[in-house]
Structure 1
Amino acid sequence: MNYTKHIYPVIICLLCFCQISGQNLKGYVYSDKKPVNSAEVLITDPEQKKYFTVTEENGVFTIELPANKMYDIKIYSDKKLLTAKSIFLDGNKIENFYAENKEIEIKSVDFVVRKKKIIQQKTDRIVFNVENSIMASGGDLMDAMRLAPRISIQNDDIKITGKDKILVMVDNRPVNIPKEDLINYLKSIRSDEVSSIEVITNPPAKYIAEGNSGIVNIITKKSKKDYWNLTLNTTGQAATHFISKNGANYNLNYKGLIVSSSLNYVKGYNAPLNYSKIEYPGVTWIEDSKQTALADNFSGRLSLDYKVNKKLTTGLQYIGSFSSPEVESLIESKIFDHADHDKNSVINTNYKDSKSNKFNSFNYHILYDIDTTGKKIAFDFDYFNNINLTNQLFASHTTAAALSGLQNFDAGKNDGYQKITNYSLNLDVEHPTSWVNINYGARLSFTKTQNDIHFYDLTTGTEVLDQNRTNQFTFKEKNQSLYFSLNKELNDKWEIQAGLRMENTETTGYSGTLNNESKIRYTKFFPTAYVLYKLNENNQFSINYGKRIHRPEFSLLNPFKYTFSPYSTSEGNPYLLPEFTNNVELTYSYKDFMITSLYYSDLKNGFDMLNILDSGTKIQNTAPLNYIANQSYGLNQYFYFKIFPWLNTNVNITVFNSQSQSSTPVTLSYLNGWNFETKADINITLNKRKTLFFSTNLWSVSKGVTNLDRSTSGFQTDAALKLFLMDKKLQITCYANDIFKSNRIAYTGLSNNNKTTYKNYDDLRFVRLSVVYSFGNKSVKASSREIKNSEEKDRTTSK
């Protein structure tokens, strides 16, 4: 099928709609009878809407403006006002601008030196202006993100408070790389290269409606031409075992060509611990699992952008990740008979999971500035494939007095192959007018997954293929989207924004082994709305609403049943449906000191992995199912305290109520409870040169509920010492994580009236020493193209 025929009519219509032309103003700027190069031209209309451009080497600028208006024009150079003039534009016009004999130094005028507040509330996001924060300067991007409101960084996991998952973007372009590579990449960017961090808790219609997630958008500073920069980093991390991380980032901007690249390699082990307790009628089953997990990952990223002319930019980006992780587990299952203590049993299982993962992603894009009024059009083509090979072996031995029905020995092997392929076409248009700013676009996405899984019985010592536990499964998904968004400043106090996104989805799943086909089709609309009210300079209010969708990860749709031990299996569900969430949030901000947010979330048709216990066979089978409805409401309170010039802290306090209902008799039918979480980051400057810093992170969570499970309390304490040398080009950091080994939260629930308790510890107590050296002739703006199939990439990994 030729899918491009679907998008060509959309492109033509959008291009035609964009060609609402204004009038051209051409200006010549002179000082001492010489043309002024790179002069900044600020143009303001009667409605206080601003237009901006710069002059070329010959002192000429050309800009398109709406006709029949009076414009105030100010021209700056080197932070000085050269000249100012008012003109009426009623057609194409040429104007000369001569600098006055005496340049006027800017004191507090317009955009050039007006200092932004550290924290700003905008219509659909909160902005943390890194460049105006003294405490955020000198470190890396991760240091700056810790200071931003609503962002929580715990164990290198970046979250927005109240959101399950987030998307990280650089200059409005998602960075879709594995978590380990993402953290290394963010640590390689210096905070001094960042202008602001935008926290978007309820994304507008422009972004895909996937997930109950927010967006963290990093805006980098604009760099001058002809620069290069190289950053080298190495990290050693010691916990139960040792992990090494090494990487390099190279960036170049030369004669219209922008290159951004990175290489990272991670290798080493960690040792997670898993504990579970199941109380069956008459029997208690306690399981301890000690794991040794190998991380062996090499990844790279290369981005090339070329500015063909003033209006047209084109480029491509490649991301690759290749890993061979291994997990070896020693599982001890102790079975206690309530009536006869002489019939206790022990099952020892050796389990090994070896994988080979290959991920390749390609993006090609074209950006076209239609005119200088801000009309822009962007086209993206994205492609990725993800190939996973899995080999899982287990062998179980039963010792002591065996209970009835337990086997003395059982062994098996899963051999799996999965290939996921996706490509998408995306069109975005920005269309400002004199009355309202418009944003609209379209997206087409096509995904195919192929699964070939085999199970072999090894109990006799010879491989015997089990046809009943072997499966070939193919899944296809088509998604078409259209969106439209409007933004309007009503006056100095009120601003509104509204949008609507439509997504049509068609899925087909086919099991070759079962000769069974499942088809699902649905069309959904996702409205968004925002209102911002500025009472005065220090007090602002905003309210927003948005509807979101979360589609199942591809691995959850495969009906094949994996066998991990004689008493532990897991399978997918080809009929699994997406879940939907409605979010409402009211926010009040006061100066740079305080942000208060009240929020409400309503989840329908929620899905999760459901652990189904059989009281007779004692087999635990885990499968995904749509069975959850959840309503939650809460308060998030952010404070920023600058106690002394050398001491500051930011505090996040969250309290929320969760009410969950279940549609399956396997679990509790209803659970209601309150949760309380606090987090504080304390930052201390230890010397006058501001090259030595100490920081500590304190985090705690109360007893509470998570969906239909009850959770225990927990806390964690981290600390870091950071030293800058060689004019801050060399950065050395010593970091201690979970110092007291206290982040051990247990979850308790019911499965078929059997009480279950789970507690995992991911080897979080470690010491990390990092060295980062950055050198080059200019500060760098990292280049990263927006990847339009980020939703599909996220779904290649189950959570």
Structure 2
Amino acid sequence: MTQKEKIYIFLGILLCIGQLAGQTLKGHVYINGVPVNSAEILITDQEQKKYFTVTGETGAYSIELPNQKNYLVKAFSEKRLIISKNIYVDGNTTQDLSVENKETEIQSVHLIAKKKKIIQQKADRIIFNVENSVIASGGDVMDAIRLAPRISVQNDDIKITGKGKILVMMDGRPINIQKEDLPNYLKSIKSDEISSIEVITNPPAKYTAEGNSGIINIVTRKSKKDYWNLTVNTTGQAASKFMYKNGANYNLNVKDITLSSGINYTSGYNAPVNYSKIEYPDITWIEDNRQTAFTDNLSARLSLDYKLNKKITTGIQYIGSFSSPIVESQIDSKIFGKPNGAEKSLINTASEDSKKNRFNSLNYHMIYEIDTTGKKVSFDFDYFNSRSRSRQDYLSRTFDKTAPLPSIPDFDSGKNEGYQNINNYSLNLDVEHPTSWATLNYGARISFVNTANDIRFYDLSTGNEFLDPNRTNQFSFRERNQSLYFSMNKELGEKWEFQAGLRMESTQTRGFSETLNQESEIKYTKLFPTAYVLYKLNANNQFSANYGKRIHRPEFSLLNPFKYTFSPYSTSEGNPYLLPEFTNNIELTYSYKDFLITSLYYSDLKDGFEMLTIMNTDTKTQNATPLNFISNRSYGINQYFYMKLFPWLNANVNINFFNSQSRSSSPVTLSYLNGWNFETKADLNFTLNKKKTFFFGINTWQVSKGVTNLDRSSSGYQIDASLKLFLMNKQLQIVCYANDIFRSNKISYTGFSNNNQTTYRNYEDLRFIRLSIIYNFGNKSIKDSSREVKNSDEKDRATFR
């Protein structure tokens, strides 16, 4: 079957489905012959499915129902049941609801669902109901996220166990702000304002297939009209250096307008330390890299939604980020001879890497709610522009050159100047289509990406700037992507729930190097199936299984063939022929009450790519380039416990035990590596007073020796502690946080390159004390209205190098 045939078949399916429709029940509601405005109509079928609508000023109502059968129709006015009537709907039906002098109080209406369990297992996700959790109340959203199943938060970095990068969403819409601003934003929202946290380890077909990632969806509580909220926060953080963060968020919900905005500024320093060791046959090369990293980042967001009428909502969203980071490095490379280990040479390299990054994103969206049964059409147009200017200067000196270093001069100095400009446009159409026999979801997306790169290298060794044409390059890259998707969810009685989906993505890329006169073109069309099944044995025991296929496309910077020079012995270059990697994921899950969740998982990675550092044994130089050379199979078990040990002590524990098997197609690395990994995480939360305004927390994690792809990793652990105090009726929040108290997060990785053993260990200056003050004022906090930006996967790939 050709690519065009596949597309035509898929479009035909979507068009056929789009013709499905129900029937309409309409009429008027009267009391004593007078039309009733804003009467609530609740309709229930024999399977206890509920449908809801409200009358207008003339007392008229209209609601679309999925099929022909008997319905129980109830009408309420001012919290009173005024009529209850059985109606058989056969095609379009008109039925007035009239009552004379009826004053019956509402009895057991059940408009509000019964209290949910703290942990719920659905076919495609795990739900942590924050509103029913004592341990999660009174804090912020970051506190609540720490407690959710399968989630790990380390140094404000949010992850799902067994996954790579994740997408954090609010009410089904990605929170598209810079990664470093995300924790501050989540800390500015009270946990009491959210209803639940959904952990989606294997995203359905509706979501882009990009990345072996999961999704965390934060569901907010419904807000009332005519309320506003302003949150201001300030944070001081002291590690080896000092850093401060300030921000404010303003939200407004009045009449038919919803506004959400925020601004954050971060400035300060930290001091990472990196260590590496290379064992050549004749020498040992040890490198210490001491850095001072300056952060200067301003970010802002603004979203505005307007409800045109009962069915149509439209809005825009803007996100901007402006940063000027600077990293100064002092690198000492000590070279020891073999076999006696005497020091032969010392190479000192000083470098400064400065950037100016500018990011602007705009989204326009329109939502059309077709009827009250849940039929809905959403349209999105997204645009983002990412610009970066960089400059990296280095000066390298070699002392006591007695070691065999033929390729390294005694003195070398150079400058890299780079410019990158990325533009992306995307259009997305999504349809939610419930029917009498299943709930359908289908849609389409197209995306256009254009990048331009201009990178120049200047040789400064003579004291003058000399443009080296052999290390200068202009490179352009273009990508086009078209997607179609369809999914179906079906419940069979109270025991079974099934969901299946299919996403097709077609991609065409073209890269061109002006300097090298080199062109590369890649085209491919792939199908990404997903499947889910849930079985409810009884109220306390549930089983589920899911399968999904994913794709991870290379970041745009990895495709540029230009060779970037860090020092006379260290370079890196991109690969315009780099292909995407694919992953197949399978999970089996068992959940018992609110107490535990057990997950068995399997992942199979094909054509995996990484930056591969190639060591030259003769010249002692290193060049890093991305290649598709890894395949990996991993399987394991994840165990989650949620425990209330005492009224004043709650805990959640996560244990992960898995095996990793990696193979390499490159002769430079090990051909195969197999090993087991063991990880644990525990969060203890103490309530220190009866008013529940003073809390103490301990967070700890530990990892055993294990393997990461083709490297062996050492063991490690980290212990954090926090004190949290609420004042002024919980409007003022003061948090003191101690991170990596024992400075123990120093995991090392050991691998091989051309039979030379390499060891790396990085410490990101993680031991710090942080004091945060957050103040909320206004008559009511409302939910964020950030729109689901459909080009978030392209944004993730637009990393600055």
Question: Structure 1 length as normaliser, TM-score?
Answer: 0.96
Q: Which range moved further: 244-253 or 775-784?
A: 775-784
Task: Report the equivalent of 1:719.
Answer: 721
Q: Deviations over 1:237-266 (max 9, x none)?
A: 110111110011111111201100000000
In structure 2, distance between residues paired with 1:365 and 1:46: 37
Distance 1:33 1:769, change over 3 A: farther
Q: Superposition pairs for residues 285-684 of structure 1, below 5 Å?
A: 285-339=285-339, 344-404=344-404, 405=406, 406-684=408-686
Instruction: Output the amino acid matched with 2:201.
Output: T
CA displacement 1:405-451 (0-9 Å, x = unmatched) = 24211100000000011000100001111111111100000001100
Q: What secondary structure sits across from 2:180 in the alignment?
A: helix
8 Å CA contact 1:141–1:186 kept in 2: the answer is yes
Aligned mates of 2:650, 2:345 — CA distance in 1: 56
Is the aligned partner of 1:184 residue 2:184?
Answer: yes
C-alpha change, 1:408 and 1:80, in structure 2 (3 Å) is farther
Q: Is the 8 A contact 2:271 2:291 kept in 1?
A: yes
Deviation sequence 1:13-32 (CA, Å, 0-9, x none): 96895464433333555679
Partner of 2:253: 253
Q: How many residues are aligned here?
A: 790
- Which stretch has the larger CA shift, 26-35 or 199-208? 26-35
Q: How far off is 1:190 after superposition?
A: 1.1
- The secondary structure found in structure 1 opposite 2:112 is helix
**RMSD of aligned C-alpha atoms?**
2.1
| Alignment CA distance shift 1:199-1:742 (3 Å) | same
Instruction: Decide whether the 8 Å contact of 1:275 with 1:758 is kept in 2.
Output: yes
Residue 96 of structure 2 corresponds to: 95
Aligned amino acid, residue 169 of structure 2: M
Contact 1:276 1:288 (8 Å CA) reproduced = yes
Say if 1:515 and 1:46 are closer, same or farther in 2 by CA, change over 3 A: same
Q: Is the 8 A contact 1:611 1:751 kept in 2?
A: yes
Aligned to 2:3: none
Residue 215 of structure 2 is matched in structure 1 by: 215
The answer to whether the Cα contact below 8 Å between 2:315 and 2:366 also exists between their aligned partners in 1 is yes
Matched, 1:790 2:783: no
| Aligned equivalents of 1:524, 1:664: Cα separation in 2 | 26
TM-score for the superposition, normalised by structure 2: 0.96
Aligned residue identity for 2:658:
F
Unaligned 5+ segments in structure 1 are 1-6
Output one character per residue of 1:206-255: Cα deviation in whole Å (capped at 9) or x when no partner: 00000000000011111111111111111111101111100111111112
Instruction: Determine if contact 1:25/1:95 at 8 Å carries over to the other structure.
Output: no
Distance 2:334 2:118 in 1: 56
Work out whether residues 11 and 427 of structure 1, in 8 Å CA contact, stay in contact via their aligned partners in 2: no
* SS of match in other structure, 1:177: coil
TM-superposed deviation, 1:340: 6.5
1:468 Cα deviation (Å)? 0.7
Give the residue type in structure 2 aligned to 1:293: A
Asked if the contact 2:326/2:355 (under 8 Å) is kept, the reply is: yes
Letter in 2 for 1:688: K
Residues 77-92 of structure 1: pairs in structure 2 closer than 5 A: 83-90=83-90, 91-92=92-93
Matched-pair identity in %: 70
Structure 1 segment 708-787 matched on structure 2, within 5 A = 708-787=710-789
Say whether 1:195 aligns with 2:195. yes
One-letter identity of the residue aligned with 1:308: L
Residue 14 of structure 1 contacts residue 429 of structure 1 at CA under 8 Å; is this kept in 2?
no
Q: Please report how far the alpha carbon of residue 400 of structure 1 lies from its aligned counterpart in structure 2 after TM superposition.
A: 2.7
Partner letter of residue 493 of structure 1? K
Deviations 1:458-481 (A, max 9, x none): 111111111111111000000000
The whole-number CA distance in structure 2 between the counterparts of 1:175 and 1:436 is 30
1:108-137 Cα offsets, whole Å, 9 max, x none, are: x63515101111101100011111112211
Q: Could you tell me how far 1:177 is from its partner in structure 2? A: 1.5
Confirm or deny: 8 A CA contact 2:119 2:127 kept in the other structure.
Answer: yes
Separation in structure 2 between the aligned mates of residue 320 and residue 244 of structure 1, nearest angstrom: 20
Amino acid at match of 2:270: N
Change (3 A) 1:23 1:401: closer
Deviation at 1:165, TM superposition (A): 1.1
Task: State the secondary structure of the residue aligned to 1:179.
Answer: coil
Q: 1:78 to 1:697 in 2, by over 3 A?
A: farther
Going from structure 1 to structure 2, the CA distance change for 1:31 and 1:756 (only over 3 Å counts) comes to: farther
Question: Would the alpha carbon gap of residues 75 and 763 (structure 1) be closer, same or farther in structure 2, given more than 3 Å must change?
Answer: farther
Instruction: Determine the structure 2 residue equivalent to 1:115.
Output: 115
Q: Which residue does 1:3 correspond to in 2?
A: none
Q: Which moved more, 1:364-373 or 1:350-359?
A: 364-373
Q: Distance in 2 between matches of 1:122 and 1:13?
A: 27
Tell me, what secondary structure is at the counterpart of 2:470? Answer: helix
Contact kept in structure 2, 1:10 and 1:442, CA below 8 Å: no
Checking the alignment, whether the CA contact within 8 Å between 2:79 and 2:106 is kept in structure 1 is no
Residue identity matched to 2:159: K
Give the conservation status (yes or no) of the 8 Å contact 1:343–1:401. Answer: no
In 1, are the aligned partners of 2:375 and 2:434 still within 8 Å (CA)? yes
Q: Which moved more, 1:49-58 or 1:415-424?
A: 49-58
Name the SS of the counterpart of 2:403 in structure 1: coil
Kindly state the Cα deviation for residue 371 of structure 1 after the two structures are TM-superposed.
Answer: 1.5
- Structure-2 change in CA distance of 1:734 and 1:57 (3 Å): farther
1:35, distance to aligned residue in structure 2 (A): 6.9
Secondary structure of the 1:314 match is: strand
Distance 1:153 1:75, change over 3 A: farther
Q: What is the CA distance between 1:743 and its match in structure 2?
A: 0.6
Deviation at 1:374, TM superposition (A): 1.2
Q: Deviation at 1:484?
A: 0.8
- The CA distance in 2 between the partners of 1:601 and 1:206, in whole Å, is 21
For residues 331-384 of structure 1, what are the alpha-carbon distances to aligned partners after superposition, in whole Å with 9 as ceiling and x for unaligned?
Answer: 000000115766611111101000000000000011001122211111110000
- Give yes or no for contact 1:79–1:112 (8 Å, CA) kept in 2: no
Distance 1:140 1:78 in 2: 35
Counterpart contact for 2:32–2:98, Cα < 8 Å: no
Question: C-alpha offsets along residues 260-309 of structure 1, whole Å, 9 cap, x if unaligned?
Answer: 00000000000000000000011000000000001100010000110000
Distance of 2:254 and 2:113 partners within structure 1: 28
Q: Report SS of the residue matched to 1:145.
A: helix
Say which SS state the counterpart of residue 123 (structure 2) adopts.
Answer: coil
